[in-house]
Chains A and B, each alone.
Chain A
Amino acid sequence: MNLFILGSLITPGIGLIFWTSVVFLLLVGILGKFAWKPILNAIKTREKNISDALASAESALNDMRELKSNNEKILAQAREERDALMKEAREAKESIIAEAKTKATKESERILASAREQINNEKNAAITDLKNQVATLSIDIAEKILKSDLSSDEKQKALVNNLMKDVNLN
């Protein structure tokens, strides 16, 4: 191996050091201002747009989910309310029926009582009437007895038979 040439291989030349420094620093400046800045900004903006879009999609999904759960809640509430209403209605019906039943029983009892009373009254009236008739009849009989001859037995018997004939036992 030729050491002299190898030596020149690892000896940096002043010219290239100078030009590389100048060109590199200019390149950083120029590319930084006119290329990297707009490109990186654009990429950043796009990434922000994408992440924003994703976030808004996510939030829309959440909103929808919330809406759905709300709907379900409302539905469940409605169902509950309906059940409550129906229960109430059933109770109302039952209470109405029960009330009607008690009313009817009471009414029938009242009617029966009044009928019983009336019957009693009629019976009493009839008894009174019968009593009166018996009294009258008795008086009539007594009158007739008194009027007829009560001397002999036959006569007495005839009289009784006679009287008995007259008695119209109803």
Chain B
Amino acid sequence: MASKINTFTRNKIVPFLFFALFLSFSNFIKASDGHEPENHDNHVAVDTTKKKKVDMAAIAIEHVLDSHSWHLWGDHHDATVIPLPVILKGNNGFSFFSSSKFENDVHGTHVVEINGERFVNFEEDIYYASETPNAHGQYLEMHADAKGKMHPTNAKPLDFSITKCTAQLLLSALVLILLFTSIARAYKKTGVTSAPKGKQSFLEPLIVFVRDEIAKSNIGPEKYEKYVPYLLTVFFLILINNILGLIPISANLTGNIAFTFVLAVITFIVTTISANKAYWGHIFLPPAPVALYPILIPLEFLGIFTKPFALMIRLFANMTAGHIIVISLVGLIFAFESYFISPVAVGFALFIDILECLVALLQAYIFTLLTALFIGSAMVEHHHEEHSEEAAHH
């Protein structure tokens, strides 16, 4: 009995302990108040021409993008953030330092010197710092594009930082491992003679759904089994990050194109490896008149790539769009500079948030379903020969 209680409390405590450790390692910092106020003014001048007007579009995009530290609240140098490790592969090899070294600067005004190299953070991209600052105090060579927007022309190191998205990815991976290994233990402990209970009974229908409705029905009852672990991992990783993404301070991982890109590439690789002769036959020897081959073959060949590409864009666009809508609705309050708009803005934002809960589940389902569908279609047996034979008989 005592051991049962112990394991119970331990299971509950482990995630909290991890989070506490996470926080204590990264030790909350608050940027000093008196830090270079002139720089602050500078970047406002860089950012917007009118000082008062808030650029909501930029803020919305900024919120759905990745960042080098985990922003909690506050603005600019006064912001409270969780610093995260920055890992750069520069000319002098790898450099490791805490994102707190940038002191919340995202305008290229604060140089971090490490490993004989100098880096600045400009809008969450890390550049090699110039020797001397420009007129706005930025250690960057700024260049105006056709639209008059200033871009840095400095070189960039390869950035392997544990960004906000990476941190959330690691966190969600850990949660998934703890959650599902504990469920696996529950099955081992109670065996299969008893009905599932607790989180087991909540997640088992989802697991069975992915196995039966997604894997089995799309890949086929003979070959689906070896793809189930992959599909389950895709489904739950996307689902948990879609849901985490709804929490205001969290990262927009599933709405980050790098994340969806990797998943789509893996789907592409898995599909291509599983593809049988019929799949390639359909692409390079389509069942059509030979005269159409010059059009059909490139189209079919392109289809190999457009399918995972659509997969990448769909998840990214859905999650990002949802977040931008919520931020824009909340942003109405700041755009109108009136409290009276807040009931409308909050009402709409709440509605969209509830919709997003559905979208979170739906997009995880669709991504997994389409992945299974692509794998299944690459493994389907060809029937054209049979048809032509039948036709010959007739």
Q: Is the A/B pair a real complex?
A: yes
List chain A positions with a Cβ less than 8 A from chain B: 1-6, 8-21, 23-24, 26-28, 30-32, 34-40, 42-43, 45-46, 49
Tell me whether B207 is interfacial, beta carbon within 8 Å.
Answer: yes
B144 to chain A minimum Cβ distance, whole angstroms, is 11
Q: Is the CB of B169 within 8 A of A14?
A: no
Q: Is the CB of B64 within 8 A of A23?
A: no
Q: If the complex has contacts A13-B258, A18-B160, A35-B184, are A2 and B177 also in contact, measured as CB distance less than 8 A?
A: no
- Report chain A residues within 8 Å CB of B151: 4
Identify the closest chain A residue to B178 (Cβ): A35
Q: Is the CB of B232 within 8 A of A31?
A: yes
- Report chain B residues within 8 Å CB of A9: 61, 64-65, 257, 320
A17–B166 alpha-carbon span in the complex (Å): 9
Tell me whether B1 is interfacial, beta carbon within 8 Å.
Answer: no
Tell me whether B357 is interfacial, beta carbon within 8 Å.
Answer: no
Q: Is the CB of A12 within 8 A of B123?
A: no
Tell me whether B259 is interfacial, beta carbon within 8 Å.
Answer: yes
Interface stretch (choices B186-194, B290-298, B302-310, B343-351): B186-194
Total contacts A-B at CB 8 Å: 149
B326 to chain A minimum Cβ distance, whole angstroms, is 16
- Report chain B residues within 8 Å CB of A12: 256-258, 261
Most buried by B among A13, A28, A32: A13
A35–B177 alpha-carbon span in the complex (Å): 8
- Report chain B residues within 8 Å CB of A17: 258, 261-262
7 residue pairs, one from A and one from B, having the closest CB atoms: A35-B180, A16-B258, A12-B258, A42-B187, A32-B229, A46-B192, A20-B262
From A11, A16, A36, give the contact of B232 (CB < 8 A): A36
Identify the closest chain A residue to B161 (Cβ): A15
Q: Is the CB of A24 within 8 A of B166?
A: no
Identify the closest chain A residue to B230 (Cβ): A28
From A2, A10, A27, A39, give the contact of B207 (CB < 8 A): A39
Q: If the complex has contacts A2-B58, A42-B192, are A8 and B237 also in contact, measured as CB distance less than 8 A?
A: no
B205-228: CB near A (< 8 Å → 1, else 0) gives 001100100000000000000001
From B66, B169, B320, give the contact of A23 (CB < 8 A): B169
A154–B316 alpha-carbon span in the complex (Å): 182
Tell me whether B113 is interfacial, beta carbon within 8 Å.
Answer: no
Tell me whether B91 is interfacial, beta carbon within 8 Å.
Answer: no
Q: Is the CB of B187 within 8 A of A16?
A: no
A142–B322 alpha-carbon span in the complex (Å): 172
From B211, B257, B263, give the contact of A10 (CB < 8 A): B257
A60 to chain B minimum Cβ distance, whole angstroms, is 20
Tell me whether B81 is interfacial, beta carbon within 8 Å.
Answer: no
Tell me whether B159 is interfacial, beta carbon within 8 Å.
Answer: yes
Tell me whether B233 is interfacial, beta carbon within 8 Å.
Answer: yes
Identify the closest chain B residue to A13 (Cβ): B258
Q: Is the CB of A3 within 8 A of B149?
A: yes
Q: Enumerate B35-59 residues with CB–CB distance to A below 8 Å.
A: 55, 57-58
Q: If the complex has contacts A35-B180, A40-B228, are A23 and B170 also in contact, measured as CB distance less than 8 A?
A: yes
Q: If the complex has contacts A16-B259, A23-B173, A35-B181, are A4 and B145 also in contact, measured as CB distance less than 8 A?
A: yes
Tell me whether B183 is interfacial, beta carbon within 8 Å.
Answer: yes
Q: List, sorted by A's number, 9 A–B pairs whose CB atoms are closer than 8 Å.
A: A9-B257, A15-B163, A16-B258, A19-B166, A20-B166, A27-B233, A39-B207, A42-B187, A42-B188
A31–B316 alpha-carbon span in the complex (Å): 24
Identify the closest chain A residue to B226 (Cβ): A32
Q: If the complex has contacts A3-B149, A5-B123, A12-B261, are A36 and B229 also in contact, measured as CB distance less than 8 A?
A: yes
Tell me whether B158 is interfacial, beta carbon within 8 Å.
Answer: yes
Identify the closest chain B residue to A32 (Cβ): B229
Tell me whether B162 is interfacial, beta carbon within 8 Å.
Answer: yes
Q: If the complex has contacts A23-B173, A24-B237, A39-B180, are A45 and B163 also in contact, measured as CB distance less than 8 A?
A: no
Identify the closest chain B residue to A49 (Cβ): B192
A74–B157 alpha-carbon span in the complex (Å): 93
